[in-house]
Chains A and B, each alone.
Chain A
Amino acid sequence: MSKYKNFRLLGGKFSVLVDRKASFIFIILVLIAFVVFTISTGSGEMKINPLTVVKVLFGAGPEMETLVITSFRLPRIIVALIVGMSLAVAGGILQGMIRNPLASPDVLGITGGAAAAVVGFLAIFSDKNHSLTVSIAWLPLAAFIGAGVVAFLVYFLAWKNGVSPIRLVLIGIGISTLMQALTTFLMVSGPIYQASQANIWITGTVYGSNWQNVAILVPWAVIFLIIALIAARILNIQELGDDVATGLGEKVQKHRFILLMISTALIGGSVAFAGGIGFVGLMAPHMARRLVGSSFGALLPTSAMLGGILVMLADLIGRTMFSPLEVPAGVFTAGIGAPYFIYLLFKTRNA
C-alpha cells in the first residue's frame, strides 16, 4: 500500500494526494477536539453531563441546560476553537515562509501591533471620567487594524529589492519592541483599572464572547483557513529557499506577500476577539510536525486541530481550576506552552 491515496475529481481536472497516516492522525485529532469541546461545554459553575451536552448540541436537551449552554458557553468555546486554529495555521505559515521554527505571530510584532491599538483605543475614546465614549464593540476592529498596519509596516520596511525572510523577522522584532514600549506607555498614562483591563486583553482571553463575535469570526477564519490550505503547496516550495524556489518557477516575492497577508488575516481575526493568546502559533505547528512530518498539506490541518484543542483546554483550565476566579487562557498557553516549547527545542537538538 502506498503512502498516499490519490483522489481525482471532475474527471481528472482536479486531483490531490492524501497522506494516509496524516489523515488518520487528523481524524483522531478531530475526535479529541470534539471530546474536549463536549467536556468544556459541560464544565463550569453548573456541571452538565457529556451526554446531555451532545443532546443539547443536536437540539434535544432539557430547557435549563440548553439555555446555559447556548447562551453562555457555546460562543466562548467556539471562539476558543477557531482562535486556536487560526493562530496555529498562521504560525505554521510563518515558520515555513521564514524557514525558521522560532518564528511566530508574537515575534513578528503583529500581536504587539494589535495590543498597542487596543490600549490606544481605550485611551483615545475615553472622556475625562475615563468612561468610554464609543461602544466597546469597536474594540475588535481597533485590534484588527493594529495587526494589519504593523504587518504592512514590517513588510514595507523590510523591502529592499524584495523581502528576505531574515529582514522580515529582524524588522518584526524591532517593531514589536517599539509596540511594547508604546503599549506600556499608554498603560502608564491612563488610570490603573484601564491598564488592568488592557493587560487582561493583552494576555489573551475568550471571556465574554457572544454569538455576534462568533458570527463575524467564524466565516472570516474559515475562508482564510481554506485559502491557507490551498496555499500549502506554495509553502512547500518556499521552504526550499529563495534560490531553489525561483529555479522551480515560483513567484517568490508575490507569493511571500500573499502568505504574509493570509497569516495576518488569521492573526488579526483572532487577536480581535481573543487578544494576544501567545505561544499557540509557535507550539502547535511543532507538535504537528512531530506527528505528520513537514509537508504543509498535512501539517496545516493537523496544527489547526492541535491549536484548537490547546486553546480550548487552556480556557477550560482557566475557567474551572480557580473558580470562581477566571484566569485568562493566555496565562496557560504561555505557562505550559513556553516550557514545553523549550523542551522540544532541546530534544530536536539532541536527535
Chain B
Amino acid sequence: MLLKNTSLKWAGFLIAIIVMLFLMGASIVFGYTDTTLQMAIDAFTNNNGSNEHIIIETVRLPRALIASAVGASLAIAGALMQTLTKNPLAAPGIFGINAGAGFAVVAAITLFNVNNMQGFNALAFLGAAVAAISVYAIGSFGREGMTPMKLTLAGAAISAMFASFTQGLLVLDEALLDQVLFWLAGSVSGRKLETLISVLPYIGIGWVGALFISGKMNILAMGEDVAKGLGLNTGFIKIAIGVIVILLAGASVAVAGPIGFVGIVVPHLTRSIVGIDHRWVIPFAGVLGAILLLAADIAARYLLMPSEVPVGVMTAIIGTPFFIYIARRGFNAR
C-alpha cells in the first residue's frame, strides 16, 4: 500500500483527478490534425467554424469523454468482479462478458435489423447478462463449488463460444465485416457524443451503485460465512454486484466495442496504491481506469501515424504481460 492514511489518500485522489483532466486535455489537443490548446479553448468559447474547431468539437471531445467513461466503467466492473469471485483474474474481458455483449450487438445488426441506439444498448446488456450468468453457473457446478480455476475456464470457453458466433455471422455477411471490424477491435474513435449520452444513465447508475455498496463489499471480501455472521444479506449484495457489472460492461461494449485488460490491470494497480478498502478502491479504480484508457488512446494515435491502432489492441499489449505476471503468481498469494 502506497498511501497509508486518509489524508494521503485524499491527496492521491486529487492528484489522480488532475492527471485525468490533464490527459483529457491532451486527448483533445494531440492528434493527426495539428491543434493547440488555444484552439481547443476557442472551439468551445468562440467557435469560428474552421476545420480545427470542428474536429475538436465533433471528433476529439467525444473521444476523450468516451475513453474516460469506458475506462472508468471497465475498471470498476473489474474491481467488483474480482471481489465477488475471489479471483484475481476476473474482468469483463476474460469472463466473456465483453464477448457476449459484442455478439449481441453484431446480431442486432444482422439478425434483428436494429438501428436505434436504445435497441443496441438493450441488446448489449442482454448479451452481457447472458454471458455473465452462464459463466457464473458453469463455474460453480460440480462438487467443489466455485473455484477460481473453473470460473476462469468457463469464462474462456464462453468467450470462445461468443467469438465464434460473431465470426460466423461475419462470414455470412461480408459487408457487415467492414462496418464492425474496427468496433470489434475495441475503439473509442469515430463515436458520436450521442452514443455516450444514450448509455450515460446506465453508467451513472453503475458508478453510484458501486460506491454505495463499496462498504458492504469489504464485509463480503471476508468470506461468505463471516459476512453472513455479521448480518450481511450476501445474496442481495451479490445480485447487486452482478447487475452493476452487467450495466457497466454492457454499456462500455455498446459504446466502444470489447476492450480487454483494463478491468484486470487497474484494480490490481489500485489495490497496490490504496490497499483493500473498497470505499477507496472503487473511486480510485474509476479514475485510474480513465487515465489508462486515455493514455492508451493517445499512444494509439501516434504508434503507426497516420493510421490508428485500435485502443483495444493497445490495452491488450499493455495488459498481457501484467496478466501473465498475476497468473504466474497464482491464486492464493495476495
Contact = CB atoms under 8 A, between A and B. Distances in A.
A100 B167 contact: no
B171 A171 contact: no
Interface in A91-108: 100, 102-104, 106-107
A302 B171 CA distance: 31
Interface residues of B, number: 51
A103 B153 contact: yes
A181 B320 CA distance: 10
B257 to A, nearest CB: 10
B184 A331 contact: no
Interface string B133-158: 01001100110000001101111110
B261 to A, nearest CB: 7
Interface string B72-110: 000000000000000001000110000000000000000
B316 A345 contact: no
A203 B171 contact: yes
A169 interface: yes
Contacts of A177: 93-94, 260-261, 316, 320, 323
B164 A330 contact: yes
B160 A278 contact: yes
Contacts of B160: 104, 106-107, 278-279
Given A157-B328, A334-B168, A195 B156 contact: no
A107 B149 contact: no
Contact of A169 (B149, B328, B330): B149
B174 A181 contact: no
A335 interface: yes
Q: Summarize A's interface: helix, strand, loop or mixed.
A: helix
A167 B323 CA distance: 11
B146 to A, nearest CB: 12
B324 interface: yes
A311 interface: no
Given A100-B149, A100-B150, A170-B89, A199 B177 contact: yes
Interface in B153-204: 153-157, 160-161, 163-165, 167-168, 170-172, 174, 177-178, 181-182, 184-186
Contact of A178 (B163, B185, B317, B328): B317
A167 B307 contact: no
A182 B312 CA distance: 10
A193 to B, nearest CB: 8
B283 interface: no
Given A200-B171, A334-B168, A173 B312 contact: no
Interface string A145-183: 000000000000110100000110111011111101110
Q: Which 7 A-B residue pairs are closest in the complex by CB-CB distance?
A: A181-B316, A349-B141, A334-B164, A170-B327, A331-B168, A102-B153, A184-B185
10 contacts: A102-B156, A169-B153, A169-B156, A170-B152, A170-B327, A174-B320, A178-B320, A195-B181, A282-B157, A330-B167
